[in-house]
Structure 1
C-alpha cells in the first residue's frame, strides 16, 4: 500500500519578469488560499536577500501577510536564516505571529546566509556571525521561547516567551540533520536544490535522533521541485522558467523569473546545463500520473513523514493549477 503523507508548499513570493513585489506578494496570498482549500498542511516562506526574483526577504512580515489571508493552514519560515538575526529578535517576531495567529505558526531555521557574502555582512553588521555558532544561537533562541517558569536570565522575549511555535531545523547537508537529531527537533531537507544528499542526510537524522521534551520520535520532511501539467510535454515547458532561474544563479546575474522557452539549448551552454541539472536533479515534472509515480518512488526511497513542494512557474494560473493537480493526484483531502 502506498504511504499516504501530508504535503506542504514552500514559496519565495517569486517576482516575475514584467511584475513587481506587490504582485508577487498578492500571488503568494492567492496560492496560500488555494493550498488551504486543496488540503495542504503548511505554507512556508524562505528568506533570501539581494535577489531581484524573490520578494520574501522580510520573512516574518510575509508570514503575517499570508496568515491574515488564510484561516487554518499552518504558515511559517522555510526558513529564517538565524545567523542573519539576533535570536531575541526572532523570538519576539514569531511570538508576535503566534499571538496573532495562535497554533498556526512554524519556525524553520537555516544557518546559510540566503544571499551573497557582501550582503550577508551588511545584514549582520558588527555581530560578524558566519554560521559557525549556529548551535549556540539555536540554544539562545530556545531559551528565549521557553515558558516563564523556565527563564534563567534577566532578558525576556515578550512576545515570544512560551509561544506555541514548533522549531524545525533545515539543511542541505548532514550538519543540520545531525544537529536536529541531537536536539530532538523535526528536520526538513532542501532537496529542491541539493538532491545528492537527500537520502544520506535523512538516514543520518533518523538513525541519530534523540527524543526530546517536545518530540519522542523523529519527524522528517523533504522539499522538492514539483511541476504538474496536463501532459509531460507541457510540464517540461513550464519547467524552463525554473531552469532559467537556476541558470541566473550560476551566472551571478539574478533576474526576475522569465517566461518559458521552447528550447533551453539556445539559452544555456552544455556545461551550464550539467550544472543546473545537478542542482535540480530531484525535480518531479510531468503529467499527474508521471508525478504521482515519481513522488511515490521518492517517498519510498526517503521514508519521509512529509513532502514540501515548490514550483517556479512564470504564469500565475499555471502555478495555481499545478498545485491543485498535485493535491488531487496525491488525494490530500482524504
Structure 2
C-alpha cells in the first residue's frame, strides 16, 4: 500500500491564514519523514474555511524542508487560468524540486460563479474570446488547454500558428531539466474519459461524494490509449480519513468537518471550522448529520485497525495500490494554532499500520 495526502489547508475558528499555512507545513514535513508518497494541495477560492487558493505558491513554501515526497496540486482548476500561466508556475516548481512535482488539473472552478468570473477578469463584463473575437467558455476549452500545457512543458515548447502562415514558439521555462507529471482529476465520467483518450494518469475524487467511482475507473481503464505520458492506466482514489487511538475519539475529531460538509450542502457556504467537542456538537444537529450521513458512510473513521482495514478494502475494491488520504480530524480549542495535533498523530498511526 502506498499512502499520499490531500490538504485543503483548512482554517479553523481563531486561526489566521499564516497559522494555517504553518500547520500544513508541519504536516508535509511529517509526511515526508514517514514515507508518504505525495502531498497535494487543492485550489478553492473565497471560502472562509479554506486557505488553499494558489497551489503553486503554496508548494514553493510547503516543500522547503522536504527531501523525497512528491509535491503537487489536487488540483489546479484550469478554467480559472491560462495554460501558459499554469505551465510556467509548475515548470518553476520542477526547477526548484526536480522530478518530484505533480501537476493535478481539474475542470471545476473550485468556487462560486461570481468569484470564478473575478478570477478570470470577467467580473465587470469582460470575457475571453477566440481568434475571431467570439466569446469562449474556458470549461469547453478544457481538452485543448490540457494539450497546450503538455506542449508548453515539453522540451520544444508549443508552436503557435499566427496569421499569414507564420509560427511562434512558446516555452514554459528557458532550460528545463525536469517536467512535472500531469494528472487529470475528476468526480464524474468526463475527466475519466478524457484522461483515457489522452493517455494520462487519472485520480477520482472519491472523498468528494463517494459515488460513481467504479464507473469512472472502468471508463478510464477500458478506454485508455497508451501515450508518451503513460504506457498503461495509472490511477488512485482519495478518501476522507479520521483516525485516533480510539474509535470514539476519531468520530469526535471528524465532527467539525461533518458540519462543514452539511453547511455546504444546505447553505452553500463554509465558515471557519468549529473546534472539536461541545462547539462542533452544538452545531452538528441530528438533521445535519442526516444530510451528510450517505457521504460519511464512505469515509474511513475509527481506531487504527478499523481505518487500516477500511483503506485496504477500498484499495482492493477499486483495484488501486495507492490511497490519498484527506485528513478530516479537527482541532481542540486548546491546540496550538500553528499545528493540527490530531492530523499529525493520524499520519503517525497510518504510517505505523500501512507503510514499511
Q: TM-score, normalised by structure 2?
A: 0.87
Q: Does 1:252 align with 2:259?
A: no
Aligned partner of residue 22 in structure 2, secondary structure: helix
Aligned partner of residue 7 in structure 1, secondary structure: strand
Note if contact 1:144-1:160 (Cα within 8 Å) is conserved in structure 2: no
Note if contact 2:70-2:100 (Cα within 8 Å) is conserved in structure 1: yes
Q: 2:9 is matched with which residue?
A: 13
Q: Does 1:67 align with 2:66?
A: no
Note if contact 2:13-2:274 (Cα within 8 Å) is conserved in structure 1: yes
Distance (whole Å) between structure 1 residues aligned to residue 101 and residue 170 of structure 2: 20
Q: 2:347 is matched with which residue?
A: 323
Q: 1:273 is matched with which residue?
A: 289
Q: In the TM superposition, what is the alpha-carbon distance from 1:159 to its structure 2 partner?
A: 1.5
The 1:203–1:30 alpha-carbon spacing in structure 2 relative to 1, beyond 3 Å, is same
Unaligned ranges ≥5, structure 1? none
Of residues 152, 161, 176 in structure 1, which corresponds to 2:159? 152
Of residues 149, 152, 170 in structure 2, which corresponds to 1:141? 149
Q: How many residues align?
A: 327
| CA offset digits 1:240-287 (Å, max 9, x no partner) | 011011122122232111112369775345553333223343110000
Distance (whole Å) between structure 1 residues aligned to residue 191 and residue 229 of structure 2: 18
Correspondence list, 1:167-246, <5 A: 167-246=182-261
Q: In the TM superposition, what is the alpha-carbon distance from 1:167 to its structure 2 partner?
A: 0.3
Note if contact 1:219-1:305 (Cα within 8 Å) is conserved in structure 2: no
Distance (whole Å) between structure 2 residues aligned to residue 78 and residue 7 of structure 1: 15
Q: Does 1:76 align with 2:84?
A: no
Note if contact 2:189-2:216 (Cα within 8 Å) is conserved in structure 1: yes
Note if contact 2:148-2:158 (Cα within 8 Å) is conserved in structure 1: no
Distance (whole Å) between structure 2 residues aligned to residue 147 and residue 253 of structure 1: 43
Note if contact 1:45-1:59 (Cα within 8 Å) is conserved in structure 2: yes
| CA offset digits 1:161-219 (Å, max 9, x no partner) | 75421100000011111111111111111111120111211122111111111211111
Q: 1:312 is matched with which residue?
A: 328
Of residues 74, 81, 95 in structure 2, which corresponds to 1:99? 95
Q: 2:41 is matched with which residue?
A: 45
Distance (whole Å) between structure 1 residues aligned to residue 310 and residue 278 of structure 2: 24
The 1:286–1:123 alpha-carbon spacing in structure 2 relative to 1, beyond 3 Å, is same
Deviates more, 1:252-261 or 1:283-292: 252-261
Note if contact 2:255-2:330 (Cα within 8 Å) is conserved in structure 1: no
Aligned partner of residue 159 in structure 2, secondary structure: coil
Distance (whole Å) between structure 1 residues aligned to residue 99 and residue 56 of structure 2: 16
The 1:264–1:200 alpha-carbon spacing in structure 2 relative to 1, beyond 3 Å, is farther
Note if contact 1:199-1:302 (Cα within 8 Å) is conserved in structure 2: yes
Distance (whole Å) between structure 1 residues aligned to residue 142 and residue 291 of structure 2: 29
Q: Does 1:299 align with 2:319?
A: no
Note if contact 2:236-2:320 (Cα within 8 Å) is conserved in structure 1: yes
Q: In the TM superposition, what is the alpha-carbon distance from 1:294 to its structure 2 partner?
A: 1.0
Of residues 44, 54, 57 in structure 1, which corresponds to 2:50? 54
Note if contact 2:196-2:223 (Cα within 8 Å) is conserved in structure 1: yes
Distance (whole Å) between structure 2 residues aligned to residue 262 and residue 233 of structure 1: 14
Aligned partner of residue 213 in structure 2, secondary structure: helix
Note if contact 2:154-2:179 (Cα within 8 Å) is conserved in structure 1: no
| CA offset digits 1:59-90 (Å, max 9, x no partner) | 11001111212121110100000010000000
Unaligned ranges ≥5, structure 2? 122-126, 129-135, 161-167, 332-339
Distance (whole Å) between structure 2 residues aligned to residue 181 and residue 275 of structure 1: 34
